[in-house]
DNA sequence: CGCGACGTTGATTTGCCTCAACGATTGTGG
DNA sequence: CCACAATCGTTGAGGCAAATCAACGTCGCG
């Protein structure tokens, strides 16, 4: 594991739980390094998601493939964890796809390793719970954005609150995330530019 | 607590965790009965959601109020638990409203009581975790419905998978849940009837 | 260098929204 | 218990935003 990745995991964990150096060591020993090329697919729908991914560099998205069309669920950047919880926890095949949008470096934590760590370091359960709670809040916020906002408003929220998405993600993926077509996002942007 | 409510909680709990009669007794002793009239509001946005609600009779919805208009997040029926997790856990003011859509009977479990029960009956933590996991899956499924389906498809899914919603919830609330106006739902129904 | 991916623009269609009106049903106060 | 009012669902006309289909320029990568 790279020194930088090591440091990033440490910072991430310390937000949730206080580990001694030796406990932290135990944690990192379970992590498996994986590098990904741009556009490489990490998990295909139908496969079981056996790992949680810590992104030490790059970014991921998860998406659905419907009738040949991609629908982006969410983007994740360096410093974050992602996994398909449902598949990870239950061992059922995943219904989503996970893909790197940039050349990325990941640290993989298998379900098996995580459960073992829970045994060895009980206070890690707190980490597990807080990660799950965060995931819940994120999904619910996204829900509310669909319920309460128009596509244009969702785009403006993105501009305001997640500049990384705007600056690093190709526009047609953003459209797919907003639930509209690339042409429509192009026109929304044009409209907004005209009204300035 | 009514005998029926008692039995329903027992059935609910037994899906998640195995309690001895005396443990179950401890649990039920913490529950507070509350009855609600049709349309009565249980929690207003801005208030802290201090209780989880077990619905022993009737149904609830949670909704947002935007510019005088209601946007329904979800419906819940007898036999289910609901609470605004974010507010319940953090103690922050809730941004949603909770309302009974029928005359309902609830059993309230305060955050304080729950934490105390976790201490007394450690295996209840499992119940807490599973409830949270279920909630997560529910929210994510709803997310996917917005991302992957048209309003008409969402309505058809509802028809197929949640007949209780169709038969017991007034149509304009269903429209608000689907993210459309009552007039549009009426037209969708007409369209579907014509194409039969 | 050439090809494919990406973003833009135009013309047209489609589905939902808005505003308005109108029965039917529900609920309430006298 | 009835009469009236409010709520609810439906329908019509017209507007608007996104989808669709098509074309085209640019950029990046092999």
B156-191 pLDDT tens trace: 999 999 999 999 999 999 999 999 999 999 999 999
Q: Quickly give B161 CA vs C29 C1' distance in Å.
A: 41
Could you tell me what percent of chain B has a pLDDT over 90? 84
> What is the C-alpha to C-alpha distance for residues A134 and A122, in angstroms, rounded to an integer?
20
Q: Quickly give B60 CA vs C20 C1' distance in Å.
A: 32
B-chain residues near A179 (CB < 8 A): 146-147
Instruction: Identify any residues that bridge with B43 across adjacent strands, giving them in sequence order.
Output: B98
Q: In this structure, are residues B142 and A174 in contact, taking their beta carbons and an 8 Å threshold?
A: no
- Tell me, what's the pLDDT at B4? 80
Looking at residue A92, the DSSP 8-state letter turns out to be P
Average confidence score pLDDT of chain B: 94
Residue range A177-191, pLDDT digits in tens = 999 999 999 999 999
- Tell me, what's the pLDDT at A21? 94
Does residue B1 surpass a pLDDT of 60? no
Mean pLDDT over A113-124 rounds to 92
CA dihedral of A163, A165, A166, A170, whole degrees rounded to 10: 160
pLDDT band of residue A4 (cuts 50, 70, 90) is confident
Could you tell me what percent of chain A has a pLDDT over 90? 84
Looking at residue B93, the DSSP 8-state letter turns out to be B
Domains and CATH numbers, chain A: 3-123 (2.60.120.10)
- Least CB–CB distance from A148: residue in B66, B137, B139: B66
- Tell me, what's the pLDDT at A42? 95
Does residue A1 surpass a pLDDT of 70? no
pLDDT band of residue B123 (cuts 50, 70, 90) is confident
The reported pTM is: 0.92
Mean pLDDT over A122-151 rounds to 92
Instruction: Identify any residues that bridge with A33 across adjacent strands, giving them in sequence order.
Output: A107
CB contact (8 A) between residue B132 and residue A136: yes
Tokens 């990870």 belong to residue? A88
Query: How far are the Cα atoms of A6, A30, A54, A120 from residue A12, in angstroms, in the given order?
Result: 10, 16, 9, 20
Disruptive mutation site among B63, B64, B140 for chain A (greatest number of A CBs within 10 Å): B140
Q: In this structure, are residues B47 and A101 in contact, taking their beta carbons and an 8 Å threshold?
A: no
CA distance A69 to chain B (A): 10
- Closest nucleotide to B170 by C1' from CA: D8
Does residue B15 surpass a pLDDT of 70? yes
Does residue A145 surpass a pLDDT of 80? yes
Query: How far are the Cα atoms of A54, A55, A195, B118 from residue B124, in angstroms, in the given order?
Result: 30, 33, 56, 6
Chain B, 91-150: which CBs lie within 7 Å of strand C? 150
Does residue A79 surpass a pLDDT of 70? yes
CA distance B147 to chain A (A): 6
Residue range A18-46, pLDDT digits in tens = 999 999 999 999 999 999 999 999 999 99
- Tell me, what's the pLDDT at B132? 87
Disruptive mutation site among A125, A128, A136 for chain B (greatest number of B CBs within 10 Å): A136
Q: Buried b / exposed e across B103-126, counting CB within 10 Å, b at 16+?
A: ebbbbbbebebbeebeeebeebee
- Tell me, what's the pLDDT at B29? 95
Residues 6+ apart with CB under 8 A from B162: none
Q: Quickly give B189 CA vs C21 C1' distance in Å.
A: 21
Does residue A129 surpass a pLDDT of 90? no
CB contact (8 A) between residue A132 and residue B137: no
Q: Quickly give A50 CA vs D20 C1' distance in Å.
A: 40
pLDDT band of residue A133 (cuts 50, 70, 90) is confident
Q: In this structure, are residues B94 and B87 in contact, taking their beta carbons and an 8 Å threshold?
A: yes
Q: Name the E strands within A9-96.
A: 32-36, 41-43, 51-57, 59-66, 69-77, 81-82
- Tell me, what's the pLDDT at B3? 76
Q: Confirm whether any atom of chain D, the nucleic acid strand, is less than 7 Å from CB of B182.
A: yes
- Tokens representing A76 are 């994740």
B-chain residues near A135 (CB < 8 A): 136
Q: In this structure, are residues B63 and B72 in contact, taking their beta carbons and an 8 Å threshold?
A: yes
Does residue B150 surpass a pLDDT of 60? yes
Mean pLDDT over B4-20 rounds to 90
If DSSP codes are grouped into helix, strand and coil, which group holds residue A183?
helix
- Tell me, what's the pLDDT at B196? 67
């Amino acid at each position: 594991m790279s020194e930088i990745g090591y440091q990033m995991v440490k910072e991430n964990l310390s937000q949730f739980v206080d580990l001694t150096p030796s406990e932290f060591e135990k944690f990192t020993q379970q992590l498996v390094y994986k590098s990904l090329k741009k556009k490489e697919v990490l998990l295909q729908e139908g496969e079981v998601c056996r790992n949680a991914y810590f992104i030490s560099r790059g970014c991921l998205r998860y998406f659905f493939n419907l009738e040949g069309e991609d629908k982006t669920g969410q983007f994740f950047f360096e410093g974050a964890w992602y996994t398909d919880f449902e598949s990870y926890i239950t061992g059922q095949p995943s219904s989503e796809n996970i893909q790197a949008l940039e050349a990325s470096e990941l640290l993989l934590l298998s379900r098996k390793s995580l459960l073992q760590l829970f045994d060895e370091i009980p206070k890690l359960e707190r980490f597990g719970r807080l990660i799950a709670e965060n995931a819940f809040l994120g999904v619910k916020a996204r829900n509310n954005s669909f319920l309460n906002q128009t596509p244009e408003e969702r785009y403006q929220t993105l501009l305001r609150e997640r500049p990384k998405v705007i600056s690093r993600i190709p526009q047609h993926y953003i459209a797919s995330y907003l639930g509209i077509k690339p042409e429509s996002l192009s026109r929304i942007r044009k409209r907004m530019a005209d009204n300035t």
